[in-house]
């Protein structure tokens, strides 16, 4: 494989405070062995022993993967390949994906705060929470005016206490990779309108006494981001609701947060904009050489439905350099686990793996020095698929959240169950078409 000169990726921080480049050869066995020792002897913030153990298993599996893949590459050079080695590498690669999924699940679970422990309660808030609890358990809808900010809502139903909303939002950010990367704007209405400059004002150099010709004016467009309704409808028996030992607020948060996150994650990528956010893959997509505002540019992988057989990592380097430097500095990869597993086998010209695990439990893996966000709603590698995205999603994609999550109690529609129609309003779409680039799995 040809050697490439790539700009340095981000700098990672060890648990002891020292720093190391994610692209340096030091990010190999010795560093990972040191990291394992640190994980065994120090308590990272928010890390549980279970997460540390899972992460240690993940690093050991990655070592086994590298050894087996190196042997596979040697056999390919010698005899054109070994079926047994190929199967072994694929088996370990799949195990790596499963182990990473386990770490993600444990990290999300650990991120859920205990309700009622961290929030300073404003005047009247405790009483409003008690009213919310009565509403959930008994359907008591008698509210006082002073509780209106967290109580009854003119749209119907009940606005959940802020603690529950924050708990849900925190898990959404963990479970929805695009929400974690994008800019999130809180709004009070149904639509957020953002003006953007598509053509900058012209400028030039002149002498002290030279005449000044009139320059062109900037072109400004307005992008609208409507908030669509996302709902979940968990059910509970009245017996459960009557049980005083059940934390009904935590039950509601647990029931809806992952459902919301899954629906959001799919919409931010593939949503068609009809009663849901507009996903970035629904944009008009053109070859990057033909890029224009309002479209997303793509870089070809070099083969139909696959990476090129020779120097496959070249296409990834081309994609990483497709955005302008200002966007590349905060760049991130978005792909699903199957695509990430295929890339895990690639090396650079110095025989280093271009994919590296995170340096601590809960941190993203890196590819060419940039973090990888795993989004299962990204398409698998196939003919003409857009299976990899790269760019600055904070500048490229905007999510709008209308403030408040509502709950409507329905004891009639599904007797003997009580339904809780829970809604939030969220929208999204591309706000900067320069900031995100895609890879098309095609020859050109």
The token pair at 367 is 């590819």
| Placement of tokens 């699903």 in the chain | 336
Check residue 145 and give its pLDDT. Answer: 32
* E strand residue ranges, 233-384: 235-237, 284-287, 295-300, 302-303, 306-307, 332-335, 355-356, 366-367, 370-374
What is the CB neighbour count within 10 angstroms for residue 107? 20
How far does Cα 361 stand from its chain's mean position?
A: 17
How far apart, in whole angstroms, are the C-alpha atoms of residue 115 and residue 249?
A: 8
Dihedral over alpha carbons 27, 31, 36, 38 (to 10 degrees):
-120
Residue 17 backbone phi and psi in degrees, to 5: 100, -15
Q: Quick one: pLDDT at residue 350?
A: 84
Tokens at 105, concatenated: 């699940």
Q: Which CATH superfamily is domain 122-200+220-336+375-444 in?
A: Major capsid protein gp5 (3.30.2400.10)
Q: Are 106 and 98 in contact (CB under 8 A)?
A: no
Q: What is the DSSP letter of 202?
A: P
Nearest to 421 by CA among 429, 412, 430, 434: 412
Rounded CA-CA distance 54/71 in Å is 26
Q: What token pair was written down for 37?
A: 């020792």
pLDDT reported for residue 154: 44
Q: What is the pLDDT of residue 149?
A: 32
**Cβ 388 vs Cβ 439: under 8 Å:** yes
User: What was the pLDDT predicted at 119?
Assistant: 46
Cβ count near 2 (within 10 Å): 10
Q: Concatenated DSSP letters for 147-183?
A: GGGGSB-TTSSEEPPHHHHHHHHHHHHHH-HHHHHSE
Phi, psi at 222, each rounded to 5°:
-115, 125
Would you state the pLDDT for residue 11?
Answer: 40
Residues ≥6 apart with Cβ < 8 Å to 88: 68, 72
Residue 309, both tokens: 């057989």
Cβ atoms of residues 285 and 295 within 8 Å: yes
pLDDT of residue 144: 40
Q: List the domain boundaries for the chain.
A: 122-200+220-336+375-444
**Burial of 148 by CB count in 10 Å (0-12 exposed, 13-18 middle, 19+ buried)?**
middle
Q: How far apart are the first and last CA of the chain?
A: 21
Give 105-109 contacts, CB < 8 A, sequence gap 24+.
106/48, 106/50, 106/51, 106/54, 107/51, 107/174, 107/361, 107/362, 108/171, 108/174, 108/175
The pLDDT assigned to 189 comes to 86
Taking the chain (444 residues) in consecutive chunks of 10 residues, what is each chunk's mean pLDDT?
43 40 39 41 52 70 74 68 68 70 63 49 59 74 39 53 74 82 91 81 77 74 91 89 79 85 93 95 97 96 95 94 93 95 88 83 84 94 98 96 87 89 94 96 95
Between CA 320 and CA 329 the distance in angstroms is 10
| CB contact at 8 A, 345 and 356 | no
Provide the pLDDT for residue 139. Answer: 75
- Give pLDDT, residue 61: 72
pTM of the complete model beyond 0.85: no
Parallel, antiparallel or unpaired: strands 397-402 and 183-187: parallel
Q: Which residue has the tokens 């190999």?
A: 28
Closest of 293, 290, 267 to residue 440, by C-alpha: 290
For residues 252 and 422, is the Cβ–Cβ distance under 8 A? yes
């Amino acid at each position: 494989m040809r050697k490439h000169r790539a700009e340095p990726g981000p700098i990672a921080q060890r648990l002891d405070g020292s720093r190391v480049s994610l692209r340096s050869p030091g990010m190999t066995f010795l560093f990972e062995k040191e990291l394992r020792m640190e994980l065994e002897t120090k308590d990272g913030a928010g890390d549980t022993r279970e997460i540390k153990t899972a992460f240690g298993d993940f690093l050991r599996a990655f070592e086994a993967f590298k050894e087996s893949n190196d042997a596979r590459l040697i056999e390919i050079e010698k005899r054109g390949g070994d079926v047994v080695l190929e199967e072994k590498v694929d088996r370990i690669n799949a195990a790596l994906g499963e182990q990473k999924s386990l770490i993600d699940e444990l990290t999300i679970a650990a991120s859920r705060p205990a309700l009622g422990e961290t929030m300073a309660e404003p005047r009247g808030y405790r009483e409003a929470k008690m009213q919310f609890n009565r509403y959930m358990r008994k359907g008591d809808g008698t509210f006082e005016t002073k509780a209106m900010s967290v109580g009854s809502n003119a749209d119907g139903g009940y606005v959940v206490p802020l603690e529950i909303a924050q708990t849900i939002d925190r898990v959404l950010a963990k479970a929805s990779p695009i929400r974690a990367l994008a800019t999130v704007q809180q709004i009070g209405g149904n639509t957020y309108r953002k003006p953007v400059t598509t053509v900058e004002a012209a400028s030039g150099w002149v002498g002290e006494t030279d005449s000044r010709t009139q320059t062109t004016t900037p072109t400004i467009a307005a992008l609208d981001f409507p908030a669509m309704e996302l709902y979940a409808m968990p059910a509970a028996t009245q017996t459960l609701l009557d049980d005083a030992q059940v934390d009904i607020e935590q039950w509601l948060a647990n029931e809806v947060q992952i459902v919301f996150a899954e629906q959001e994650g799919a919409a931010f990528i593939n949503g068609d904009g009809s009663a849901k956010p507009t996903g970035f893959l629904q944009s008009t997509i053109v070859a990057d050489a033909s890029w224009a505002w309002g479209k997303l540019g793509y870089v070809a992988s070099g083969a139909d439905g696959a990476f090129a057989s020779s120097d496959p990592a070249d296409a990834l380097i081309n994609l990483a350099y497709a955005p302008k430097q200002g966007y590349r500095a905060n760049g991130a990869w978005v792909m699903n686990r199957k695509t990430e597993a295929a890339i895990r086998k690639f090396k650079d010209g110095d025989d280093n793996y271009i994919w590296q695990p995170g340096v601590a439990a809960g941190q993203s893996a890196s590819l060419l020095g940039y973090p990888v966000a795993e989004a299962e709603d990204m398409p698998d590698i196939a003919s003409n698929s857009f299976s990899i995205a790269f760019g600055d999603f904070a500048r490229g994609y905007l999510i709008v959240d209308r403030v408040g999550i509502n709950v409507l109690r329905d004891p009639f529609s599904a007797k003997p169950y009580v339904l809780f129609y829970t809604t939030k309003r969220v929208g999204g779409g591309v706000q900067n078409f320069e900031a995100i680039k895609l890879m098309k799995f095609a020859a050109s």
